[in-house]
């Protein structure tokens, strides 16, 4: 969804980058380098090199090369012969934004789950729970499981959910064997 908005220019790439760069583990220097490359590309349409960047920034060429190599190593950018491809970077940024909004949309439910647990859920665990509630289990069932049991960690919670789902599917299978239309 956000990727489509980016492609159409409805969502600003720079704003998305500034808001979510920490979520994808970009350093401040990497952020500045990406912003400078985008700015120079908008102004001149030249291939941006570390030497050109060093003229605009208070960083030497070697530091810029190291930061760019870090972006390549983290699979965030591809350096092509004529340009730098930021598609992977913005794909990860849009996923981070989508995950943030997914958690915000379910904040009340996730806060209820968090309050009943003996530990705090991290972002990945919250997304895992939301994935389960969108496919396998209802929010009400999950809240009942959390209310009835004490969990020391996320793995024990997932084990209990899987146990519930297995027993639930057995009951469903048994009920489906019965011919309800036969008198």
Residue 5: predicted pLDDT: 65
- pLDDT of residue 65 exceeding 50: yes
Most confident of 4-8, 31-35, 137-141, 177-181: 31-35
- Residue 98 CB-half CA count within 13 A: 13
| For residues 5-16, average pLDDT | 76
Rounded distance between C-alpha atoms, residue 161 and residue 166, angstroms: 9
Which range is least confidently modeled, 3-7, 86-90, 126-130? 3-7
Per-residue pLDDT tens over the stretch 106-116: 999 999 999 88
Q: Are residues 38 and 82 in the same domain?
A: yes
- Write out the DSSP string of 78-96: EE-SS-EE-HHHHHHHHHH
Model confidence over 84-126: pLDDT tens digits? 999 999 999 999 999 999 999 999 999 999 988 888 999 999 9
Amino acid 169: pLDDT: 56
Residues 137, 55: Cα–Cα separation, whole Å = 56
The whole-angstrom separation of Cα 8 and Cα 2 is: 10
Confirm if 99 and 24 have CB atoms less than 8 A apart: no
In this prediction the pTM is: 0.77
**φ and ψ at residue 158, rounded to 5 degrees:** -65, -40
- Beta-strand (E) ranges in 25-132? 78-79, 84-85
Residues 59 and 80 in one domain: yes
Q: Are residues 112 and 166 located together in one domain of the fold?
A: yes
Number of domains forming the structure of the chain: 2
Q: 151 with 119: CB under 8 angstroms?
A: yes
Given a cut of 90, whether residue 6 has pLDDT beyond it is no
Domain that holds residue 35: 2-94
Do residues 164 and 137 touch, judged by C-beta distance below 8 A? yes
Residues 89 and 16 in one domain: yes
Please report whether residue 139 resides in a domain. Answer: yes
Residue 183 in any domain: the answer is no
Q: How many CB atoms lie within 10 A of CB 183?
A: 3
Q: Is 101 a domain residue?
A: no
Distances (CA, A) of 136 to 28, 106, 148: 40, 17, 19
| pLDDT band per the 50, 70, 90 thresholds, residue 170 | very low
151: pLDDT confidence band, cut at 50, 70 and 90?
A: confident
């Amino acid at each position: 969804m956000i990727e489509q908005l980016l492609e159409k220019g409805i969502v600003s790439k720079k704003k998305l980058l500034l808001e979510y760069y920490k979520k994808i583990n970009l350093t401040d220097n990497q952020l500045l380098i990406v912003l400078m490359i985008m700015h120079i590309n908008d102004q001149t349409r030249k291939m941006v090199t570390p030497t050109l960047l060093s003229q605009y920034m208070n960083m030497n060429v070697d530091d810029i090369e190291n930061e760019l190599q870090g972006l390549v190593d983290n699979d965030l950018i591809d350096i092509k012969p004529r340009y730098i491809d930021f598609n992977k970077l913005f794909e990860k940024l849009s996923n981070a934004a989508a995950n943030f909004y997914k958690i915000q949309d379910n904040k009340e439910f996730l806060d209820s789950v968090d309050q009943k647990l003996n530990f705090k859920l991290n972002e990945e665990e919250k997304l895992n729970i939301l994935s389960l509630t969108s496919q396998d289990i209802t929010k009400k069932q999950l809240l009942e499981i959390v209310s009835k049991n004490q969990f020391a960690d996320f793995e024990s919670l997932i084990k209990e959910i899987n146990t519930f789902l297995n027993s639930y599917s057995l009951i469903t299978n048994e009920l489906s064997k019965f011919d309800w239309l036969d008198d």
